[in-house]
Structure 1
Amino acid sequence: MSRRRLVWTGLVAALIVAALLVWVWPPAHRWVFGPGAATNHVVVSGNIEAHQSVLSFTNVQAPITELPFDEGKAVTAGAVLARVDSRVYQQQLAIDEASLEAAARQVAVATSNLAASRSTVASDRLDFAEKQRDLQRNAGQLEAGAISRQTYDLSKTAAGQSGAVLARDEALVKVAANNIALAQANLKTAQAKVALDRVTLSFTTLRAPFSGVLAVRQAELGELAGPGVAIFTLDDLDHVWLRAYINEQDLGSIRLGEAASVTTDTYPGHVYHGRIGFIASQAEFTPKTVETHAERVTLVYRIRIDIDNPAHALLPGMPADASIALLPPEK
C-alpha cells in the first residue's frame, strides 16, 4: 500500500470517529467542534425540606402521663400525642362550675325579688288610692261638721304613710332590678371562667395539628411539661420542597409553576415530579462553606421546587437534584 493511500485511510478513519462522537454526545450538553452551545436544561442541587412544627403544651404545667407514639410514627390530624396530669385543672373546673350554678341561682332569686317587689308596689298603689279617697271624703265631712278634726287628721296621716310606703317599695323595685343586672353580670363572669377552664383542660391533651410523621420525640413519661417545653417535632411529609440556587444568567429562563424533574441518590432511577413554587427577588452569595474566592463572589437566586411526595419517600435533609428546562427569556 502506498504512503498516500495510508494517509487517506487514516484521514477517513479520523472523520468517522469524529462523526460518531458528534452523534452520541448530545448537543444539548456539549459540542465537540466550534464554540460551546447553551444547554436547554439546568441542573440544580439542594436539600429536601418540609414544614416542621415543634409541639408543646399550652398554658398548662404538669407531669406527662401518656405518650402513645415513638419517633418515626405516622399520625393523622387530631391524634392524641401526649397527655399530662389534669387533676388540678379538673378540680378548678368543678369549683367554677359550682360558682356558675350559684350565680344562676342568684339570678333566679333576684328575678323573684323583683317580681315580689312589683307585686308589693301594686298593692301599695291600691292602698294609697284608697287612703286618698278616705282623705277626700273626710275632708268634705269635716266641712259639713259630720266628723271631728281628729278623725280627719288620722285619715290624712294614713294617706301620707301609704304614700311613703309606696315610694319606698317603688325604690325597692329599682334595687331589685339593679340586683338582677348585677347577678346577670356575675353569671356571665362565671360562665366565662368555666369556658376558660374547659379550654385550659383541653390543653392537657396534645393533639397533632396536621397529618405527618413524628421526626423527634423530646420528652418521656413523668417529665414536667409546660409552655415552651418541646414534646415532639412533627414533619408534614405530604408537602415537601427542594431548596436550591440558580445562577443569575439562567434566572430569566425559568418560570414560576414550571415543571422540574427531581432525583436523589437514595432512590436512583426514580424521578419525582415538582414545580417551581418560589423564585427569590434578591440575589445572594453562593451558600457554600468551602469555596474559592471566585465562587464566593458569585451571585445566585434561591428557588423552591414543590414536590409530590405521596409515599413519603423524600425526607427532610435528603440531598437531591432537579433538572429544569430553560425557556426562551421573556421580552
Structure 2
Amino acid sequence: MKKWIVLIVVAVFFSCSNGDDEKTYTGIIEGIAVKIPALIGGKINHMAVQVGDQIEEGAVIAQIDSIELALQLQQVKAQVLELEAQRAISLSNLKRAETDLNYAAERRERVSKLVAQNSAPQQNLDDVDNIYNKAKTGRDMAAQQLTALQAKQAQLDAQLQLLHKKLSDTTVLSPVSGFVSSKYFENGEAVMPLAPLVEVVHLSTVNVKIYLSAQMLPVVKLNQAVSVRADGLTEAMQGRISWVSPKSEFSPKSILTPETRASLVYAVEVEIDNPDAVLKHGMPVEVILD
C-alpha cells in the first residue's frame, strides 16, 4: 500500500512528462518569514503576541524596560538647561567684549592721527595699542567660549535624539502583517540588542518552488508569467518566475523512489502577489507554465 502512495506522489510531481499536463508542476506555498529583532537590549516587560496570532503591520510585539533610558533622558535635559544659561552669559560677555573692542579701535584711530600730527606723544599711542590688544584678546576668548558651548550644545542635541530613538525602540513593532510562526522570548527575560523576538510570516507576497528537468529549462526565463491553481480557488492566480537555479541538483528525496532519486533537476522559484492572503503557508498548489 505504501508503495502505491509513493508512486502516486511521484506521478503528480512529474506530471509534466506526458500530454496536456506536461507543463504542470506541484509545489508548496511558502510565505516570507521575517525575524523581528529587539533593536536595543534589556528586560522584556511584556510580550504582546503568541504563536499563531494574526497581526497587522505596526502591531506591538514587545515592550522592553525603559526606566534607565528615561533617567538618562532627564539627565541630558538638565544638562541642556544648564548649558543654555551658560550660553546666555557667554553671549552677553561676547557683546560686551565687542563693544570694548570697538571703543578701543576708535580711540586708537584718534590717538594715531594726533601722533601723526605731532599733537600727542608716542606714549599715548602705545598705551591705546595695549588697550586695543587686550580688548581684542578678550573678544577672541569670548567668541571661542561661545563656539565651545555651541559645540557642546550640538553634542547634547545628538544625545537627546539618540535617547528618544532608543526610547522609541523599547516598543517593538511589527514591520509586516502576517501570523506569528515562532516566539523566542517570554516576559521577564533579558534580550540582547538585535536578537530576534519572534518570527512573522507575511503572505502579501508568497513563493512556491518547483523543479524542472534540463529539457524544460529552455522554455522558462526570469519574470515569465505563470498560472497558479489551488484547491478551493475558482480562478487561477498569476505569478512570475523570480529565480532559476544556475546548477542542477538531485530530485527532492522526500517524494522520490530509489529509481528516480538519481534524476537531476533545476529549482525554480515562482513569486505570487497575494494581497488578500488567499494562499496560505504550506498550501499545495499547481504551477502551470504558460
Q: TM-score, normalised by structure 2?
A: 0.80
Q: Does structure 1 residue 282 correspond to structure 2 residue 247?
A: yes
Q: Give the counterpart letter for 2:205 in structure 1.
A: H
1:238 aligns with 2:204: yes
Q: Is structure 2 residue 37 aligned with structure 1 residue 56?
A: yes
The residue type paired with residue 288 of structure 2 is I
**TM-score after normalising by structure 1:** 0.71
TM-aligned CA deviation for residue 156 of structure 1: 5.1
Aligned mate of 2:229, from 262, 267, 278: 262
Partner of 2:284: 320
How does 1:1-331 map onto structure 2 within 5 Å? 38-58=19-39, 60-129=40-109, 131-132=111-112, 157-254=123-220, 256-263=223-230, 272-278=236-242, 279-289=244-254, 291=256, 294-316=259-281, 318-325=282-289
Distance in 2, matches of 1:314 and 1:103, equals: 59
One-letter identity of the residue aligned with 1:70:
Q
Q: Identify if the C-alpha distance between structure 1 residues 37 and 241 changes in structure 2 by more than 3 Å, giving closer, same or farther.
A: closer
The amino acid across from 1:193 in the alignment is Q
Contact persistence 1:50–1:235 (CA under 8 A): yes
Equivalent-residue separation in structure 1 for 2:206 and 2:99 (angstroms): 73
Residues 233 and 272 from structure 1, CA distance in 2 versus in 1: closer, same or farther, beyond 3 angstroms? farther
The offset of 1:306, in angstroms, is 2.7
Quote the Cα distance in structure 2 between the aligned partners of 1:207 and 1:290: 40
- Give me the whole-angstrom Cα distance separating, in 2, the residues matched to 1:133 and 1:253: 97
Greater Cα offset, 156-165 or 42-51: 156-165
3-state SS, counterpart of residue 64 of structure 1? strand
1:53/1:285 CA distance change after superposition, 3 Å: same
Q: Give CA-to-partner distance per residue, 1:218-273, whole Å, 9 cap, x none.
A: 22221212224332111111211211212222223345432323325xx5x76652
Indicate the SS of the match to 1:252: helix
Instruction: Find the counterpart in structure 2 of residue 19 from structure 1.
Output: none
| Partner SS for 2:32 | strand
Gaps of 5+ in 1: 1-28, 30-35, 141-151
Over aligned residues, Cα RMSD in angstroms?
A: 3.0
Q: Is 2:29–2:285's contact at 8 Å kept on the other side of the alignment?
A: no
Tell me, yes or no, if the aligned pair for 1:45 and 1:319 is still in contact at 8 Å.
Answer: no
Which of the pair has more CA radius of gyration?
A: 1
Pairs aligned (count): 274
- Aligned partner of residue 186 in structure 2, secondary structure: coil
Asked if the contact 2:47/2:186 (under 8 Å) is kept, the reply is: yes
What SS class does the counterpart of residue 295 from structure 1 fall into? Answer: coil
Q: 1:166-219: per-residue Cα shift (whole Å, max 9, x none)?
A: 111112212222222222211111111111111111111100112222222222
What is the CA distance between 1:45 and its match in structure 2?
2.5
Q: Residues 267-306 of structure 1, C-alpha deviation per residue, up to 9 Å, x if partnerless? A: 5x76652423223343222122575565333221212223
In structure 2, distance between residues paired with 1:313 and 1:66: 32
**Unaligned stretches of 5+ in structure 2?**
1-14
Q: Is the 8 A contact 1:62 1:225 kept in 2?
A: yes
For the residues of structure 2 that align with 1:37 and 1:294, how far apart are their CA atoms?
Answer: 19
State the identity as a percent. Answer: 21
Q: Which residue identity lines up with residue 205 of structure 1 in the other structure?
A: T
Asked if structure 2 preserves the Cα contact closer than 8 Å seen for 1:263 and 1:322, the reply is yes
Q: 1:164 to 1:43 in 2, by over 3 A?
A: same
Q: Residues 135 and 50 (structure 1 numbering): CA distance in 2 closer, same or farther, change over 3 Å?
A: same
Q: In 1, are the aligned partners of 2:27 and 2:287 still within 8 Å (CA)?
A: no
1:117: how far off?
A: 0.7
- Answer with 96-105 or 243-252: which moved more: 96-105
Deviation string for 1:24-81 (max 9, x for gaps)?
xxxxx9xxxxxx96435433222221111111211x2222122333222222222222
* Paired residue type of 1:201: L
SS at match of 2:52: coil
In structure 1, what is the equivalent of residue 11 of structure 2? none
